[in-house]
């Protein structure tokens, strides 16, 4: 397990899946704001849930986020599109509603940065988020990510186009 100050990132357990599915993806608005694909219902137990992990998939590494204290599941975190030639990857995360606003998101970004830069030897990490998601923007900026641009009207979210902000962090600028 990878440890931050408040959270740990461990492997996905089978019984995490229905919780993540219900708390994150059954919420149409949260899903639509967090994922570029359109929301659709997922049959309970389906292997098509995005939270089912394929350990053979080399480009994505998925984690379950747990509280360090009691080990309670609090969310999902992923390093995705790992590119070993350009040595870059993207960060994604989602916390259960009851776990938001407690500093966990900031800690998850710190732990994923450590995983990307130290464990995987990457050179660049990137985050895309909606321009009206201050908690994600702040979680990234608290870890040294800088805003590199705005992708105008790039996300279709619940009936309207919304801007996304692109943030990046280079290994040489990272302060663990």
- Residues near ligand COA, by CB under 6 A: 30, 33-34, 93-95, 100-106, 129, 133-136, 138-139, 142
Q: Which residue in this structure is represented by tokens 């979680």? A: 139
| Min CB(20)–ligand COA separation in Å | 11
Beta bridge mates, 156: 161
- Number of neighbouring beta carbons within 10 Å of residue 61: 21
Q: Quick one: 47 exposed, middle or buried, by C-beta within 10 A (0-12, 13-18, 19+)?
A: exposed
- Nearest to ligand COA of 122, 127 (CB atom): 127
Residue 82 or residue 137: which is nearer to ligand COA going by CB?
137
CA dist 62 → 1, 42, 76, 142, 155 (Å): 12, 19, 7, 22, 23
Phi/psi of residue 71, nearest 5 degrees: 80, 10
Give the shortest CB-77-to-ligand COA separation in angstroms: 9
Q: Which residue is nearest to ligand COA (CB)?
A: 105
Shortest distance in whole angstroms from residue 108 CB to ligand COA: 7
User: Minimal distance in Å, beta carbon 56 to ligand COA?
Assistant: 26
Closer to ligand COA by CB, 106 or 113: give it.
Answer: 106
Rank residues 13 and 138 by Cβ distance to ligand COA and give the closer one: 138
Give the tokens for residue 125.
């990490």
Q: Which two tokens stand for residue 134?
A: 């201050």
């Amino acid at each position: 397990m990878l440890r931050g100050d408040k959270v740990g990132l461990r492997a996905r357990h089978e019984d995490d899946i229905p919780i993540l599915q219900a708390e994150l993806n059954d919420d149409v608005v949260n899903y639509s704001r967090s994922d570029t694909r359109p929301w659709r219902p997922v049959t309970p137990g389906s292997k098509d849930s995005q939270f089912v992990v394929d350990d053979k998939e080399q480009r994505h590494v998925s984690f379950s986020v747990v509280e360090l204290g009691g080990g309670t599941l609090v969310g999902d975190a992923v390093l995705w599109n790992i590119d070993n030639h350009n040595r870059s990857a993207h960060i994604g995360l989602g916390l259960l509603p009851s776990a938001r606003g407690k500093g966990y998101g900031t800690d998850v970004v710190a732990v994923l940065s450590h995983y990307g830069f130290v464990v995987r030897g990457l050179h660049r990490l990137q985050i895309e988020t909606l321009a009206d998601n201050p908690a994600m923007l702040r979680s990234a900026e608290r870890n040294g990510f800088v805003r590199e641009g705005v992708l105008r009207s790039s996300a279709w979210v619940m009936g309207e186009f919304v801007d996304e902000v692109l943030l990046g962090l280079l290994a040489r600028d990272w302060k663990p």
